[in-house]
C-alpha cells in the first residue's frame, strides 16, 4: 500500500491566497478539510470572503453585541473584521501566515497568532471587550482537556464585562451515518462525540492536524462551569438544528 | 501523527451518482483525485456528463473515426457513449459499479469490466472495430510493464482493421514544480516521468490505488513497437501543448 504524506505547510493560507488572487469569486477555489477517519469535506473558499448577508443568521443575530476593542480569533480572510470595520477597529489573529497576508491585502488589521498565543500586552486599558469565535470557532476550545486553559487565556486578555461571541455545531444533531460512526469511535476512545481531528489540504500541502471540538449546549455549559466565563445567551440557526451561536460573559 | 485510511470502495461511482442525482449540473459535485505524493486535484464531476461541445478539440477531431462496433474502455458516466449513440450502438465498460449504474440510468449500454478483463466472447464477427480510450485513458496502459499485455488484450477483442482512439497528456510539457518533483522522484525509482499512482476519494471512501501512465508521443511509439498496434495519427490540443489524441491501427 502506498503511504500518502503531503508536505506540512500553510495549506489554509494557500487556499485563501489562491481564492483572493482569483477575485474571491465563488466556484474557483475549494478548501479541502480532511478528518482523521479519511473523510474529505469540500467547501468553496469564497465563503471566507463573504459579506455579512450570506452569514448564518444565528451569528448575525449576536454580531451587534460586538463592541469596544474586538479580537477575532481565527480570523481567516477577515470577513468578520471587514463587517465590523464600520463601527470599531477590530484586530484579527490567525495561525496561518497566508490568511494574515490576505487580511492585510484587504486593509484589515491581522497578525499571526493563535488561541494559545494571544496578543501580549492586552492588559488593563488594552484588554479586549469582545472576543470573536465565529465560523464554528468555539471548536477551537479544542477538547475537554484543552478548553479550561484556553478559556482562562481568553479571560487574561479580556476587559471587565467582556463577551465571547462564538458559534459552533451541536454534534448530536446529525443523522449522517458517517458522523455517527465517527462519534462512536470517539466514545470508544473515551472522547466526546464531537471531538474532531482535522487538517486542511491544498495541492500537495497539508496543515498539521489540529483538534476541534463541537459541543452541545449542555457540554458547553459543563466546560464553562468553573471557568471565568458564563453562558449568557444562545441563538440557534433556524435553518440547521445543530448550529448555534453563544454569548459568553466574563464573570 | 494520525494515520488516515479512508475505507476502500467505489468512490468514483459515488461521485458520479451524486452528480447525476443533482442533475449533472456544474458546481455541485467535485471529484478529488489524490496522487501518491499527497497532491489533491479537484475537478467538477459535471464534466463526465458534458456533451460533445465542451470536449477537447483533439478528441473531437478524431471522434469521427469511431465506426462499427465500438467499446468505450473506462466509460465513466457515458459522455462518449452518449455522443456516439446517434450513429452506432457503442458499449461501455468501467470497473466502477456506480459509473455503470449511472450509464444505465441514462439509457446507455455499459457493464462492469476493465482493461484487464475485457468483454469475453468478442471474437470473429463480435470483435470491436473501435476501442475508445478517451479522457486521458491511454493512461490505462498503466506502466511500461503492464502496457504490452494490455495492448495484446485489446488486440484480442479487435476486428481486422480495428482502431484504438485514445488521448493522453505528454508529462514533459509541464513547468509546474510539483509535477517536476514528482517526475524526479519517479526517475529516482527507475520509473518513467509520467508514471502516476492515483486514487479517487469521495466523502470517507477511496478507490484502490491504480497506476496511470502519461506518455510522450515518443514513449507511446516505443511501447507500441512490437505490439499488435501501430501509431497512425496524432492530434494535438491547440489549447494545451501536452494533451494529444492518438489513432492506433491494428497491424
The pair phi, psi for residue B146, each rounded to 5°, is: -80, -25
pLDDT value at A32 more than 70: yes
User: pLDDT-derived band of residue B190, with 50, 70 and 90 as boundaries?
Assistant: very high
Residue B144's pLDDT is what? 97
Candidates A44, A196, A198, A204: best to mutate against B (most CBs of B within 10 A) is A204
Note the pLDDT tens digit of each residue in B104-147.
999 999 999 999 999 865 556 689 999 999 999 999 999 999 99
Candidates A4, A15, A195: best to mutate against B (most CBs of B within 10 A) is A4
Q: Are B33 and B198 in contact (CB under 8 A)?
A: yes
Distance CA A212, CA B75 (A): 41
pLDDT value at A125 more than 80: no
Answer with the residue of higher pLDDT: B93 or B240: B93
Note the pLDDT tens digit of each residue in B159-184.
999 999 999 999 999 999 999 999 99
Strands, sheet with A128-133, edge to edge from the N-terminal-most edge strand? A110-112, A91-94, A70-73, A128-133, A158-169, A243-250, A229-236
Residue A5's pLDDT is what? 83
Note the pLDDT tens digit of each residue in B65-117.
999 999 999 999 999 999 998 788 899 999 999 999 999 999 999 999 999 99
Q: Are A212 and A196 in contact (CB under 8 A)?
A: yes
User: pLDDT-derived band of residue A17, with 50, 70 and 90 as boundaries?
Assistant: very high
CA angle B239, B225, B251 (to 5 degrees): 95
pLDDT value at B186 more than 90: yes
Q: Are A98 and A16 in contact (CB under 8 A)?
A: yes
Distance CA A83, CA A106 (A): 12
Minimal-distance CA residue of chain A relative to B182: A204
Using the beta-carbon criterion (under 8 Å), do B5 and A36 form an inter-chain contact? Answer: no
Distance CA A128, CA A158 (A): 5
DSSP single-letter state for residue A64? G
Note the pLDDT tens digit of each residue in B207-232.
999 999 999 999 999 999 999 999 99
For residue B110, what are the β-bridge partners?
Answer: B92
Which among A43, A4, A210, A126 is positioned nearest to B4, based on CA atoms?
Answer: A4
Asked casually if ipTM beats, i.e. exceeds, 0.90, the reply is: no
Task: Tell me what the pLDDT averaged over chain A comes to.
Answer: 93
Amino acid at each position: 500500500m502506498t503511504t500518502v504524506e503531503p508536505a506540512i505547510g500553510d495549506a489554509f493560507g494557500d487556499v485563501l491566497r489562491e481564492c483572493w488572487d482569483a477575485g474571491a469569486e465563488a466556484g474557483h477555489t475549494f478548501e479541502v478539510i480532511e478528518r482523521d477517519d479519511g473523510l474529505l469535506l469540500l467547501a468553496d473558499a469564497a465563503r471566507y470572503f463573504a459579506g455579512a448577508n450570506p452569514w448564518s443568521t444565528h451569528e448575525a443575530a449576536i454580531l451587534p453585541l460586538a463592541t469596544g476593542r474586538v479580537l477575532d480569533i481565527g480570523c481567516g480572510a477577515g470577513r468578520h473584521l471587514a463587517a465590523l470595520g464600520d463601527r470599531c477597529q477590530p484586530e484579527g489573529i490567525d495561525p496561518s501566515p497566508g490568511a494574515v497576508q490576505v487580511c492585510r491585502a484587504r486593509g484589515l488589521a491581522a497578525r499571526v497568532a493563535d488561541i494559545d498565543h494571544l496578543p501580549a500586552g492586552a492588559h488593563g486599558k488594552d484588554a479586549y471587550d469582545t472576543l470573536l469565535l465565529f465560523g464554528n470557532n468555539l471548536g477551537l476550545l479544542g477538547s475537554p482537556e484543552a478548553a479550561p486553559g484556553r478559556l482562562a487565556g481568553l479571560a487574561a486578555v479580556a476587559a471587565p464585562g467582556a463577551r465571547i461571541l462564538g458559534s459552533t455545531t451541536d454534534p448530536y444533531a446529525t443523522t449522517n451515518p458517517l458522523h455517527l460512526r465517527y462519534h462512536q469511535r470517539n466514545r470508544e476512545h473515551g472522547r466526546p462525540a464531537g471531538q474532531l481531528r482535522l487538517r486542511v489540504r491544498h495541492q500537495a500541502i497539508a496543515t498539521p492536524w489540529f483538534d476541534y471540538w463541537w459541543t452541545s449546549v449542555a457540554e458547553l455549559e459543563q466546560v464553562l462551569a468553573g471557568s471565568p466565563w458564563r453562558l449568557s445567551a444562545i441563538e440557534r440557526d433556524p435553518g440547521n438544528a445543530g448550529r448555534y451561536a453563544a454569548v459568553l460573559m466574563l464573570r
